[in-house]
A and B are shown apart, each in its own frame.
Chain A
Amino acid sequence: MAEKAKAQGNTLVKKLLGSNLTWSIVAFILLVIVCTIFQHDFLALSWNTTTGGLAGPLITMLQESARYLMIATGMTLVISTAGIDLSVGSVMAVSGAAAMQTLSNGVNVWVAILIALALGIVIGCINGALVSLLGLQPFITTLIMMLAGRGFAKVITSGENADASAVAGIEPLKWFANGYILGIPANFVIAVVIVALVGLLCRKTAMGMMIEAVGINQEASRMTGIKPKQILFLVYAISGFLAAIAGLFATASVMRVDVSKTGQDLEMYAILAVVIGGTSLLGGKFSLLGSSIGAVIIAMIRKTIITLGVSAEATPAFFAIVVIVICVMQAPKIHNLSADMKRKRALKAQAKAVAA
C-alpha cells in the first residue's frame, strides 16, 4: 500500500515537474526572492488610506501587469491559430491617443473610452479581414499595421503628446488605471475578469477547440465543418479590442499619451508571455492560464530590472535573451537530446541489472 501511494506520489511529482505552469511559478518565486534580497521591504504591504487600497512594490507590479494580461490574452488566441499580431503595441498607442485627444477636446469620458475601444476593434477587424479574406501572411499584415498604426496615433494627436490630466470629469478613466476594488488595483481585477471571460468563452463553448483546430491544420478544420475564416477574423478582432483596453490602462495612469513610446516593444512582451505560458509559436494548443502567468512574470521581470538598478535601456536586450533561451529550450533538437540521454541511462541501468 505504502509503495503504491509512493508510486502515485512519484507520478504526481513527475506531472508537476513536466508542467510548464510549475516552472513559471518557480521562476516567479525566484524573481521575488531576488528582489527581496536586494530590497528588503519588497514584500511589504501597507494600507494607503487616501487611495483606499493596498500599497507596496508587489501592488505596483500587479498594476503594471494588467496591460500585459490584456495583450497576452489576445496574442495567445492569435498565435494559437498559427498567426501573430505584431500590431498590439501600436493599437495601444492609437487607443491611448484617441482617448487623450478626445478628452482634451472636451468629449465626455465614457464617449472617449468608447471611441478608443472602437478604434482598437476596427484595427483588429482590418487585420482579421486581410488575414482571413485575402489570405495574407499574418506577420506581414500586422507588421504593416504596426507601422501605420503608430503613424495613425501621431496623426490623431497631430504629432504631439496629448495630455488630458487637467481635464475635468476624467475620474472614471483614472479609476480604471489607479483605483482599487477591495484594496486590489482595479485594472488588475478588470483584466483578470476579462481573461476569465475569454477563458469561459473558449473552454465552455467549442470556440477554443475551433481556434486550436484552425491553428493545427486550417484545411482539415474546414473539412470538419469549422469556418476558419470566421475564426481568424474573430481572434484578430479580439486581439485589437484587448490591446485597446491595454492602451487605456497604459495611458490613463498618467492621463498622457506618448505617441512614439506608448506600447513600444510591447508586442515582444506579449509574444514572450505566450511563449512562457507554453503555447507553441507554431499554433495549436493554447493555455490562457499559462499566458496570464507569463504576463505577470513579464511585469515581475520589469520590476526586477528596476529593483536591481539595471538601466532601462537594457530591458529589450534582456527580454530578447529570455525569448531566445525559451525558444531554444522548446526546440525539437534539445528535446531529442534529453530523450536520448534518458534512453542511454535506461540502457545502462538495464546492462547493470543484467550484469548483477
Chain B
Amino acid sequence: MTTATANKVKAPKKGFKLDRQMIPTLAAVVIFILMMAMGQAMFGTYLRLGFISDLFIDHAYLIILAVAMTLPILTGGIDLSVGAIVAITAVVGMKLINAGMPAIVAMIVMLLLGAVFGLLAGALIEEFNMQPFIATLSTMFLARGIASMISTDSLTFPEGNNFDFIAEKIKLIDQPKAAHDLSINLGVIIALVVVVFGYILLHHTRTGRTIYAIGGSRSSAELMGLPVKRTQYVIYLTSATLAALASIVYMANIGSAKNTVGVGWELDAIASVVIGGTIITGGFGYVLGSVLGALVRSVLDPLATSFGVPAEWTTIVIGLMILIFVVLQRAVMAVGDKK
C-alpha cells in the first residue's frame, strides 16, 4: 500500500517537485514505517507474516469505514453515523439470522438498512439545509437508539449458520509455524474491493470529479452545472451502505453483535482519513491515503498492548494524532496562502 501511495505522490506533478499538500500523507508513511520498525525492534513480531495477516483481518472493517468516510470529508462534510449504522445493522442482521433467515437475506437487509439511513441523512442535508454533522449526528442517535430498543444483549450466531464464511481464513503462504502464515479472508478481499471501488469512483468517474468540485467550492460547482444535489445523495448513501458492509465483515469476524458495537468508530474513521492526508475542509485527498491512515490506526492497538498501555490512553493518543494532523494540514495551507 505504501508503494502505491508513493507512486501517487509523484504522479500529479511531473518531475521530482513535491506538492506541499502531500506532506501530511508523507508524514503518515513515515509514521507507519516508524511504528512497524519500533514494534519489530522491541518485540520482534511486527514483521511476521502472521502479524500482518492479523492486522488486515482484524481491521478490514476499519479500511472499509475509512473509504466510506473519505467521500463526505472530501466535500467538506462529515458522516458521524457510521459507527451507529454498524451497530443497528449488526443487531438487526443477527436477529434475522437467529430467526432462521438465510445469511444472504440477512446481509441484503443489512445493506438496505444502511442505505435507508444514508438516504435519510442525504435528504436532511440537501432538502432541509441541515449541516452534515448535525444531520448525521441525529441519524447516529436515531440508529443507536433503535439498535438499543431492539436488543441490549450480546447476540451470537446460532449453530450451523452460513454467515462466517466471510471470516474463513484462506492461507496464501503455508508455513510450519502458524505465526509465519500469510492468510487472508473474504473480509479482507471485500475491503480491498471497496478500496478499488473508492479509487475508481473518485478518480475515474464524473461523480468523483463532482465530489472534488463540491469540496473546492460548492457554489462554483453548482454554477458549473454539476449535479451537486444528486452527488451529495450518492455520497451519504455510499458511506452509510459501506458502513453496513463493514458491519457484515466485523460481525462475521467476531461472531457476535451488540447495540454498543461501533461506539467511537466514526472517530477512528475520521482519524484514518485525516492521517491519510485528506484535508478536513474538503477538496483535496485520496482513498489510498485513507487506507494508509487506517493501517496507522490499526497498528496503534497492538503497539499499545505490547507496551502495556491501558486502553483508556489509546483514545487520547488517537485524539492527539487527529489534532496534530489537522494542525499540520492547517500549517501547510497557511504556508501555501502566503506564497
Chain A residues at the B interface, C-beta cutoff of 8 Å: 84, 130, 134-137, 139-141, 143-145, 147-148, 150-152, 154-155, 158-159, 265, 268, 271, 281-282, 311, 313-321, 323-324, 327-328, 331-334
Q: Which residue of A lies closest to B264 (CB)?
A: A147
Indicate whether A147 sits within 8 Å of B145 (C-beta atoms), given known contacts A134-B327, A327-B128, A333-B127: no
A/B interface sample: 14 pairs, CB < 8 A: A139-B78, A140-B326, A144-B326, A147-B315, A148-B318, A151-B316, A154-B310, A159-B312, A282-B131, A313-B259, A315-B145, A317-B145, A324-B138, A331-B127
| Cβ distance B282 to chain A, nearest Cβ, rounded Å | 11
Which stretch (B146-154, B163-171, B287-295) binds chain A? B146-154
CA distance A159 to B313 in the complex (A): 10
CA distance A140 to B280 in the complex (A): 8
Partner among B142, B281, B319 whose Cβ is within 8 Å of the Cβ of A148: B319
Q: Which residues of B contact A143 (CB under 8 A)?
A: 267, 270
CA distance A282 to B134 in the complex (A): 11
Q: Is residue B232 contacting chain A, with contact meaning CB distance below 8 A?
A: no
Q: Does A159 lie within 8 Å of B322, measured CB to CB?
A: no
Q: Does A313 lie within 8 Å of B330, measured CB to CB?
A: no
The interface size bin for chain B is 35 or more
Q: Which residues of B contact A130 (CB under 8 A)?
A: 323, 327
Q: Which residues of A contact B137 (CB under 8 A)?
A: 268, 271
Q: Is residue B320 contacting chain A, with contact meaning CB distance below 8 A?
A: yes
Indicate whether A148 sits within 8 Å of B141 (C-beta atoms), given known contacts A136-B326, A143-B270, A331-B129: no
CA distance A90 to B289 in the complex (A): 30
CA distance A231 to B316 in the complex (A): 28
Q: Is residue B133 contacting chain A, with contact meaning CB distance below 8 A?
A: yes
Q: Does B124 lie within 8 Å of A328, measured CB to CB?
A: yes
| Cβ distance A114 to chain B, nearest Cβ, rounded Å | 24
CA distance A155 to B144 in the complex (A): 26
| Cβ distance A264 to chain B, nearest Cβ, rounded Å | 10
Leading 7 A-B pairs by shortest Cβ distance: A317-B145, A148-B319, A151-B315, A154-B312, A313-B148, A320-B141, A316-B145
B contact patch SS: helix
Q: Does A144 lie within 8 Å of B323, measured CB to CB?
A: yes
Q: Which residues of B contact A333 (CB under 8 A)?
A: 127-129
List 9 other contacts, CB 8 Å, given A144-B319, A315-B145: A140-B322, A151-B312, A317-B141, A317-B142, A323-B138, A327-B135, A331-B127, A332-B129, A334-B128
Indicate whether A314 sits within 8 Å of B148 (C-beta atoms), given known contacts A147-B315, A331-B128: yes
Q: Does B312 lie within 8 Å of A155, measured CB to CB?
A: yes
Q: Does B322 lie within 8 Å of A144, measured CB to CB?
A: yes
Q: Does A328 lie within 8 Å of B134, measured CB to CB?
A: no
Q: Does B312 lie within 8 Å of A137, measured CB to CB?
A: no
CA distance A135 to B331 in the complex (A): 10
Q: Does A150 lie within 8 Å of B315, measured CB to CB?
A: yes
Q: Does B320 lie within 8 Å of A327, measured CB to CB?
A: no
Q: Is residue B6 contacting chain A, with contact meaning CB distance below 8 A?
A: no
| Cβ distance B88 to chain A, nearest Cβ, rounded Å | 10
Q: Does A313 lie within 8 Å of B149, measured CB to CB?
A: yes
Q: Is residue B130 contacting chain A, with contact meaning CB distance below 8 A?
A: yes
Q: Please encode chain B, from 111 to 134, with 1 for each CB lying within 8 Å of some chain A CB and 0 for all others.
A: 000000000000010011111011
| Cβ distance A148 to chain B, nearest Cβ, rounded Å | 3
| Cβ distance A299 to chain B, nearest Cβ, rounded Å | 18
| Cβ distance B332 to chain A, nearest Cβ, rounded Å | 13
Partner among A135, A147, A152 whose Cβ is within 8 Å of the Cβ of B267: A147
Q: Does B124 lie within 8 Å of A135, measured CB to CB?
A: no
Q: Is residue B247 contacting chain A, with contact meaning CB distance below 8 A?
A: no
Q: Does B145 lie within 8 Å of A152, measured CB to CB?
A: no
Q: Which residues of B contact A315 (CB under 8 A)?
A: 145
Q: Does A320 lie within 8 Å of B267, measured CB to CB?
A: no
Q: Does B152 lie within 8 Å of A136, measured CB to CB?
A: no
Q: Is residue B139 contacting chain A, with contact meaning CB distance below 8 A?
A: yes
Q: Does A319 lie within 8 Å of B141, measured CB to CB?
A: yes
Q: Which residues of B contact A148 (CB under 8 A)?
A: 315-316, 318-320
Q: Which residue of A lies closest to B331 (CB)?
A: A134
Q: Does A155 lie within 8 Å of B134, measured CB to CB?
A: no
| Cβ distance B148 to chain A, nearest Cβ, rounded Å | 4
Indicate whether A320 sits within 8 Å of B139 (C-beta atoms), given known contacts A155-B313, A328-B124, A328-B128: yes
Q: Which residues of B contact A316 (CB under 8 A)?
A: 141-142, 144-145, 148
Q: Does B128 lie within 8 Å of A320, measured CB to CB?
A: no
Q: Which residues of B contact A282 (CB under 8 A)?
A: 131
Q: Which residue of B lies closest to A145 (CB)?
A: B319
Partner among B139, B141, B330 whose Cβ is within 8 Å of the Cβ of A136: B330
Q: Which residues of B contact A155 (CB under 8 A)?
A: 310, 312-313, 316
Q: Does B141 lie within 8 Å of A152, measured CB to CB?
A: no
CA distance A258 to B48 in the complex (A): 40
CA distance A318 to B144 in the complex (A): 11
CA distance A252 to B264 in the complex (A): 27
Q: Which residues of A contact B127 (CB under 8 A)?
A: 331, 333
| Cβ distance B301 to chain A, nearest Cβ, rounded Å | 14
Q: Which residue of A lies closest to B329 (CB)?
A: A136
| Cβ distance B46 to chain A, nearest Cβ, rounded Å | 24
CA distance A139 to B322 in the complex (A): 13
Q: Which residues of A contact B145 (CB under 8 A)?
A: 313-320
Q: Does A317 lie within 8 Å of B323, measured CB to CB?
A: no
Q: Which residues of B contact A268 (CB under 8 A)?
A: 137, 141
| Cβ distance A316 to chain B, nearest Cβ, rounded Å | 4
| Cβ distance A80 to chain B, nearest Cβ, rounded Å | 15
Q: Which residues of B contact A281 (CB under 8 A)?
A: 130-131, 134
CA distance A354 to B164 in the complex (A): 75
Q: Which residue of B lies closest to A332 (CB)?
A: B129
Q: Please encode chain B, from 66 to 91, with 1 for each CB lying within 8 Å of some chain A CB and 0 for all others.
A: 00000000000010000000000000
CA distance A79 to B320 in the complex (A): 24
Q: Which residue of A lies closest to B88 (CB)?
A: A317
Q: Please encode chain B, from 6 to 50, with 1 for each CB lying within 8 Å of some chain A CB and 0 for all others.
A: 000000000000000000000000000000000000000000000
